[in-house]
Structure 1
Amino acid sequence: MLQASHQSPVMMSGASFVVSRGVCRRRLSHSHEMEVQPEAVRDWSELPLDVLASVFAKLGAVDILMGAGLVCHSWLEAAKVPSLWRYVDMEHHDVLRGKKKKRRDVLCAMAKAAVDRSNGELEVFAGSEFVTDQLLKYIAERSPSLKSLSLDYCNVTNEAFTELIIKLPLLEELLISLCPFVDGDAYEVTSRACVQLKRLMLRQGPYGGIRDGALGIEMMHELRYLTLVNSDIMTEELVAIIDGCPHMERLCVRNCSNIVVDGTLRAKCSRIKTLILPPLQHMQNVRSRYIFHPDDSVFTDKFDDWRSS
C-alpha cells in the first residue's frame, strides 16, 4: 500500500516505483530514475462561454447569483448570458426561510439583478414575501415577454399589481397565493390586459374587510386551468365562469364555503375533464373553511410542472 507521508517503494516487473511528494519516480535496474509528472490540473475558467452557460442552466437564479457567478471573471461573463434568466424562481430556495434567510433588501437586489441580466427575455418569475411594490414596478418596466407570474405571501398593493399586469400582454399563467391586498378589480384588470391567460391559481385567506370573490374571471375566455382556494366566490359566479370559459379543462375549487354543490352544478361541469369541487353542502358545513387539503399542494409546484400535466 502507498503511504502518503513517506517514500514508499512498489515492485513491478523487475523495477520499483517510489512515490514522494506527489511525484512518481521509476527506479530502473541500472540505478537510474525516470520521473513521471502527475497530470496537469484542468483550468475550468478556460471553458468556452457556451459550455459554461449550458452548465449554469442546470442551476437556479439564486445559486448563480450567490455562487457560480462569483467564482472568476469568465464565470461571471457566462452568468450574464440573457437566456439563463428567462426562468427566475425566487420562491423555493433556502435563502428565503430559516437560518439562511436573507434580508428583504438583499433579495430584492438579487431579483433586480436577475431582471437586468435577462435583457428583456424574462418569461417566468416566482417571488415570495420579499417582493415589494417597487420590485413589481421594476419588473413591469423591463419584462415585456413575461408569460408566467407567481406571487406567494406578498404584501404588495392592489395598485402595484394592476400596474404590473397591464404591461404583461403575453401572460399565460398567474398564481396569487395569500396576497391579502390583491383583490377586487385586480381580476377584472387581468381579464382585460391578459387575453392569453390560460392558467389561473388563486389562494385567498381569512383577511376580512372587502369581499375578494372572483369577479372578472368569467371574462378570461382562454382559461384552461383554474384553481380557487378559500375564495368568497358564490355559486352563480362559478357558473358564470364555467359559461364564460369554454376551453376549461381543469377546475379545482377548495374550501369555498359559499359554493353549493348539487346536481345542477355538476351537470354544468360535465364537459370539464378534471373536476375537483367542495364536498356536498351538508358535509361542508362541518368543516373549517380554511382546512388545508392535500390537493392544495398544487401551490408548491412550479409552473413547469403544470405545463407537463
Structure 2
Amino acid sequence: MEPQPDAAPTPVPSVRDWSELPLDALTSVFAGLGAVDVLMGAGLVCHSWLEAAKAPELWRRVDMGRGPRDKEVMAKNRGADLDDPNRGVAFARPSPGQNRLSKSTRVMCAMAKEAVDRSNGKLEVFVGANFVTDEVLTYIGARSPSLKGLALLSCYHVTSQGFTDLVTKCTQLEDIELSGCVGVRGDVMVATGRACLRLKRLVLDKTWRRRWDSGEVAGISMMHELRHLSLARSEITNDELMAVVDACPCLEYLSVVDCYNIVADVALRAKCATVKTLGLPASQDHHYDWDEFYAYGFGTASYHGDIGYGWMSDDRHASNGPYDYGFGTASYDHDMDYGWMPDD
C-alpha cells in the first residue's frame, strides 16, 4: 500500500492590519466619533491612528461634555470632585486659577485645549457642557479666528469677562447659544452685538435666580442680521421685544415662550407679523411680579440632555441648521497615560 501524501495544511485566515488603513479612511471613521472618544481611545491604538487623529479637518467641530464617554470621564474623577471647594456652590464666583477646579473639570479642560491645538486654527464650532472655564475660552479665542458657532451649556465657571473676551476676538461668530451659565450677565450682549456683526442665531436661556440687566435688550438690538432668536426666562417686556423686532428686520424665528413679562396682545402680534415662526407665552391675566419671585428665592432651572438645541443635534443624521454634525461613541482604556492629562 502506497503511503498517502500529507494533507494540505489548513490555510491560516489572513488578519487585517488596521494600522495600514489609508489616512483619509481613518479620518472619515474618526469623524463619526466624539472628541473625547478620539483623544482617549481611537487615537491611541497605534502610531498611524494617532496621525489620523491629529488631522486638522477632524477638529473643525468639537462637542464636549454631553456624550456618554464624556460623562464617564467626569464620573471616573468624581472622587476628586468631593474635595472641590466650589462643590455644591453653584453661584460662587470661580477663582481665576486651576487650583479650585475639580479633577474632572481639569481633565476636560485639558482635552478641550488639545482639541483646539489639533484644529490648527480651523475650529469652526465649539460646544461645551458643564466643564468650560474662562481659561478655555481664552485659549479658544487666541487660536480660533474662524469660529462660527459657540454653545455653552451649564458652564458654571464661565464669567461675563471670559465670555466677552472670546466674542471680541472671534468676530466671525454666526451662532451663539448660552444656557444655564450663571456667571454670565446680560451686559455681555452689548459686547456681542458690537463685535459679532454676522450673528444670525442667538439662544439665551438663563437660570431663574440669575436676574439680568437691560444690556440684554440693548445688545440684541445691535444684531441687525439676526434670523433666529430664542429667549427663555428673560425679563424682557413687550415694548423691549417690539424694539428688538424693529432692530432686526431679517428675523424669521422668534421664541419667548418662557418670558413671563411678555403679554401676547394684539399690538405685539401685529409687530411680529413678518416673523415666520413665532412662539409667545400663553395668555396671561396679570403682569408677572419678578421682584416677588426673586424675593422667595426659587431655584435654578438649567438643563441639557434631552432638550433639542437646533444645530447641536445628537442625531448624527439631522440637518437642523448651518452646522450639521453628530458624534458617536468608542471605548477606551481608563488607565492609559495620555500625556496631556493634568496631574492630581
State the TM-score bracket (shorter-chain normalisation): 0.7 to 0.9
Distance 2:220 2:253 in 1: 14
Q: Deviations over 1:251-302 (max 9, x none)?
A: 111221111210110011111111111111228869x998899xx9334861
- Identify the match of residue 176 of structure 1 among 175, 178, 188: 178
TM-score by length of 2: 0.74
2:109 aligned residue: 108
Uncovered stretches (5+) of structure 2, i.e. residues with no partner: 78-103, 314-318, 325-344
Distance 1:152 1:283 in 2: 32
Does residue 274 of the first structure (1) align with residue 288 of the second (2)? no
Q: Deviations over 1:212-251 (max 9, x none)?
A: 6533101100000110000111111110110011111111
Does residue 222 of the first structure (1) align with residue 225 of the second (2)? yes
Q: Deviations over 1:137-168 (max 9, x none)?
A: 11110111100000011121111110010011
TM-score by length of 1: 0.82
Distance 1:109 1:291, change over 3 A: closer
User: Greater share of strand residues, 1 or 2?
Assistant: 1
2:308 aligned residue: 298
1:250 aligned residue: 253
Q: Secondary structure at the match of 2:126?
A: strand
Does residue 126 of the first structure (1) align with residue 100 of the second (2)? no
Q: Deviations over 1:114-145 (max 9, x none)?
A: 00000000000000121111111111101111
Distance 2:286 2:70 in 1: 38
Contact 2:127 2:151 in 1 (8 A): yes
Distance 1:206 1:246, change over 3 A: same
Contact 2:159 2:184 in 1 (8 A): yes
Opposite residue 199 of structure 2, the aligned amino acid is L
Distance 1:148 1:210, change over 3 A: closer
2:332 aligned residue: none
| Higher relative contact order, chain-length normalized (CA < 8 Å, sep 6+) | 2
Q: Secondary structure at the match of 1:52?
A: helix
Indicate the structure (1 or 2) with the bigger Cα radius of gyration.
1
Contact 2:74 2:105 in 1 (8 A): no
Q: Deviations over 1:189-213 (max 9, x none)?
A: 1011000000000001122455365
For residues 62-73 of structure 1, the aligned pairs below 5 Å read: 62-73=36-47
Distance 1:209 1:42, change over 3 A: closer
Q: Secondary structure at the match of 2:274?
A: coil
For residues 1-309 of structure 1, the aligned pairs below 5 Å read: 30=4, 32-97=6-71, 101=75, 102=77, 103-155=104-156, 156-208=158-210, 211=213, 213-282=216-285, 297-299=307-309, 302=312, 305-307=320-322
Uncovered stretches (5+) of structure 1, i.e. residues with no partner: 1-28
Aligned length: 278
